[in-house]
Chain A
Amino acid sequence: MTEPRAAAPTFRVATNLTAGSAAATATPSIVSVKSLDAYFGATRAVRDATLDFPEGQVTAIIGPSGCGKSTLLRTLNRMHETVPTARVEGEVLLEGKDIYERSVNPIEVRKRIGMVFQRPTPFPTMSIRDNVVAGFRAAGRSAPPRAEQFEIAEWALRRAALWDEVRDRLDESATALSGGQQQRLCIARALATRPRVLLLDEPTASLDPRSTQKVEELVYELRGDVTVVIVTHNMQQAARVSDRTAFMLLGELVEVAPTSRLFTSPSDERTEAYITGRFG
């Protein structure tokens, strides 16, 4: 792995949108949600959601605060149920298998699906390198030998466009990095175990514009290799990075469509009201 880091393409919304709408129909789904309800106690945060996430594509979930978009995301890797009183009804199929079936171990589901949160969550007592390979160590998997871990760390850091900034200080504490770097470190950590699906929960909400742009470029580059689901309250971001967009309102999945179509000719008037800024 000695090639210089490829220059990140300066992506244009137009290219992105056409690519998205063309591919959306043909690609098979890697994750399918079928009549899913998600509860906190008696509150139903997601109501009867049904949608597919086509393999290798970027799907954005947008909607006003509290509409249930993060909750929907967290049902996809069974993180929702880690909150007390939270529960789920319905099905989520990962490569055709229902992850809410009784025999399924949520730990195994989470190992196959990467997740990055709103605020960067590096492990403060670990070095940068150890953070990247934490998925092998903290999760007690049959950890690859140390030399191989180093290679994986480099690969994941390059993938997350962070390698050039940290290559000389891999043994320093992860807390020494800036917020944007920490978030890309978390993306590298999620990618290191080669998940086929990556969930991003408002990954740029706590970042400055420059770091936001880097993360968006990164999401753009990941398409094809990894299926990305990104929750965002920033409609421009959804338009920039996603192939498909889902709009949620008050726990209800209002509309799912190729991003270009959803933003230019939405079929539901509530979607139109939201994207034209009449509420939200």
Chain B
Amino acid sequence: MPSTSLHGASLGDRIYRFTTTAFAASVPLLLVLLGVEVMIAAWPALKAFHFSFLTSSRWDAVEGVFGAAPAIYGTIISSVLALVIATPLAVGVAIFLSEFAPPWLRQPVAFLVDLLAAIPSVVYGLWGIFVLVPLLREQVMPFITDRLHLGNTPLFSGPAYGPSMLAAGLILAIMVLPYISSVTREVLMAVPRSQREAALALGATRWEMIRGAVLPYASSGILGGVILGLGRALGETMAVTMVIGNRHEISSSLFAPGYTMASLIANEFSEATNDMHLSALMAVGAVLLALTLAVNMLARWLVWRVARQGR
């Protein structure tokens, strides 16, 4: 067949096109398949417990009654706590690196911060067990209850075991910090020079320029970075499982042990003996999947919005 024919693409082109299309299609297909499989496996538990699966605190494998509320609560609270701690730190690091750091310091520090994301989560967990938790139990928690006299407030009541929601929040904060910080650094550096000059020419100081022109311009992108960090925190398993205490109970105190959805699945999947228990764990997985998908889509949308706004 002559390759110079006016009609149709050449055979090579068609094969190439077919293969790349198949590759590209396989990824979304895989995601859909995964979602469907999880839903099918979770269905018996969702059908049996309806909304009480989301609202009940009773998780009894022997009686076959499952309510995942403490794990859902713990996932959200530990992640939000992590963001509250990590966001100011990460944004501060990003502002320093993009606006104030001398060029020779910029790359090394940015590299070290990014390196935090490369540490395996089980290593964070070990550090948590042997360093962070004892530190919390012996120094930080007594300080908060005895010296600051906050022991009677709901947030800091109860005995200081060590493994706690607070420990989980802190370790998650360190783990999500590089994500928030590197996204923030990118969006800060993408703020056009013309915007900075416009503020400077009005007589703004460096800090006034950052606060008045750079941060507002970058705000939706920074929010996207924060939500990306939230997505990471929601799904983190190993490190959290090692420090949160794994107690299936809702407590207002950050000193009390808790549970997360990811830890629950990790701890129980190997000992799930009956079908309903397995199905309940799958249902927890489905809730977690839905939550992280929603958060990631929100992040995408925010980043897309800031990209469209910038010129």
Residues of B within 8 A of A139 (CB): 199, 202-205, 208, 212
Within 8 A of B (CB), among A185-202: 186, 189-190, 193
Contact A140 B198 (CB under 8 A): no
Within 8 A of A (CB), among B209-233: 209, 211-213, 216-217, 219
User: Which of the residues B197, B208, B216, B217 comes within 8 Å of A140, measured between beta carbons?
Assistant: B208
With A121-B194, A121-B195, A140-B208 known to touch, is A79 a contact of B217 (CB < 8 Å)? no
With A138-B209, A138-B213, A139-B208 known to touch, is A121 a contact of B198 (CB < 8 Å)? yes
- Would you call A137 an interface residue if the criterion is a C-beta within 8 Å of the partner chain's C-beta atoms? yes
Contact A108 B212 (CB under 8 A): no
Contact A138 B208 (CB under 8 A): yes
Residues of B within 8 A of A123 (CB): 195, 198-199, 212-213, 216-217
A82: nearest residue on chain B (CB-CB)?
A: B200
Residues of A within 8 A of B194 (CB): 117, 119, 121
Number of interface residues of A (CB under 8 A): 29
- Would you call A167 an interface residue if the criterion is a C-beta within 8 Å of the partner chain's C-beta atoms? no
Contact A125 B219 (CB under 8 A): yes
Contact A135 B208 (CB under 8 A): no
Residues of B within 8 A of A114 (CB): 201
B118 CB → nearest A CB, Å: 31
B137 CB → nearest A CB, Å: 45
- Would you call A67 an interface residue if the criterion is a C-beta within 8 Å of the partner chain's C-beta atoms? no
Contact A79 B205 (CB under 8 A): no
A186: nearest residue on chain B (CB-CB)?
A: B198
B107 CB → nearest A CB, Å: 16
- Would you call B309 an interface residue if the criterion is a C-beta within 8 Å of the partner chain's C-beta atoms? yes
B192 CB → nearest A CB, Å: 8
Bound-complex Cα distance A59 to B83 (A): 54
Mask, A87-128, CB within 8 Å of B = 1, is: 000000000000000000001101110110101010111100
- Would you call A45 an interface residue if the criterion is a C-beta within 8 Å of the partner chain's C-beta atoms? no
Mask, B172-206, CB within 8 Å of A = 1, is: 00000000000000000000001111111111110
Within 8 A of B (CB), among A132-161: 134-135, 137-141
Bound-complex Cα distance A222 to B31 (A): 63
Number of interface residues of B (CB under 8 A): 21
Bound-complex Cα distance A111 to B217 (A): 22
Contact A107 B197 (CB under 8 A): no
- Would you call A260 an interface residue if the criterion is a C-beta within 8 Å of the partner chain's C-beta atoms? no
Q: Is the interface of B mostly helix, strand, loop or mixed?
A: helix
A111: nearest residue on chain B (CB-CB)?
A: B203
- Would you call A245 an interface residue if the criterion is a C-beta within 8 Å of the partner chain's C-beta atoms? no
Residues of B within 8 A of A181 (CB): none
- Would you call A271 an interface residue if the criterion is a C-beta within 8 Å of the partner chain's C-beta atoms? no
A125 CB → nearest B CB, Å: 4
Contact A135 B216 (CB under 8 A): no
Residues of A within 8 A of B200 (CB): 79, 82, 110
With A138-B208, A138-B212 known to touch, is A121 a contact of B202 (CB < 8 Å)? no
Contact B204 A138 (CB under 8 A): yes
Contact B219 A110 (CB under 8 A): no
Contact B217 A108 (CB under 8 A): no
- Would you call A232 an interface residue if the criterion is a C-beta within 8 Å of the partner chain's C-beta atoms? no
A137: nearest residue on chain B (CB-CB)?
A: B212
- Would you call A242 an interface residue if the criterion is a C-beta within 8 Å of the partner chain's C-beta atoms? no
Contact A125 B216 (CB under 8 A): yes
A31 CB → nearest B CB, Å: 16
B187 CB → nearest A CB, Å: 13
B194: nearest residue on chain A (CB-CB)?
A: A121
Residues of A within 8 A of B196 (CB): 82
Q: Which of A79, A82, A138, A186 has its CB near the most chain B CB atoms (within 10 A)? A: A138
User: Which of the residues B197, B211, B309 comes within 8 Å of A121, measured between beta carbons?
Assistant: B197
Contact B203 A135 (CB under 8 A): yes
Q: Which of A110, A175, A190 has its CB near the most chain B CB atoms (within 10 A)? A: A110
Bound-complex Cα distance A175 to B211 (A): 20
Residues of B within 8 A of A126 (CB): 216
B285 CB → nearest A CB, Å: 40
Bound-complex Cα distance A79 to B203 (A): 10
Residues of A within 8 A of B201 (CB): 77, 79, 110, 114-115, 117, 190
Bound-complex Cα distance A126 to B197 (A): 16
B308 CB → nearest A CB, Å: 11
Contact A107 B203 (CB under 8 A): yes
Interface residues of B (CB under 8 A from A): 194-205, 208-209, 211-213, 216-217, 219, 309
Across chains A and B, which 5 residue pairs bring their CB atoms closest together, nearest first?
A111-B203, A138-B212, A121-B198, A115-B201, A125-B216
Interface residues of A (CB under 8 A from B): 77, 79, 82, 107-108, 110-112, 114-115, 117, 119, 121, 123-126, 134-135, 137-141, 175, 186, 189-190, 193
Q: A111-B203, A123-B213 are in contact. List 6 more A-B contacts (CB 8 A).
A: A79-B197, A110-B201, A121-B195, A123-B198, A125-B217, A135-B203
Sampled A-B contacts (9; CB under 8 Å): A108-B203, A110-B200, A123-B198, A123-B199, A134-B202, A138-B211, A138-B212, A175-B309, A190-B201
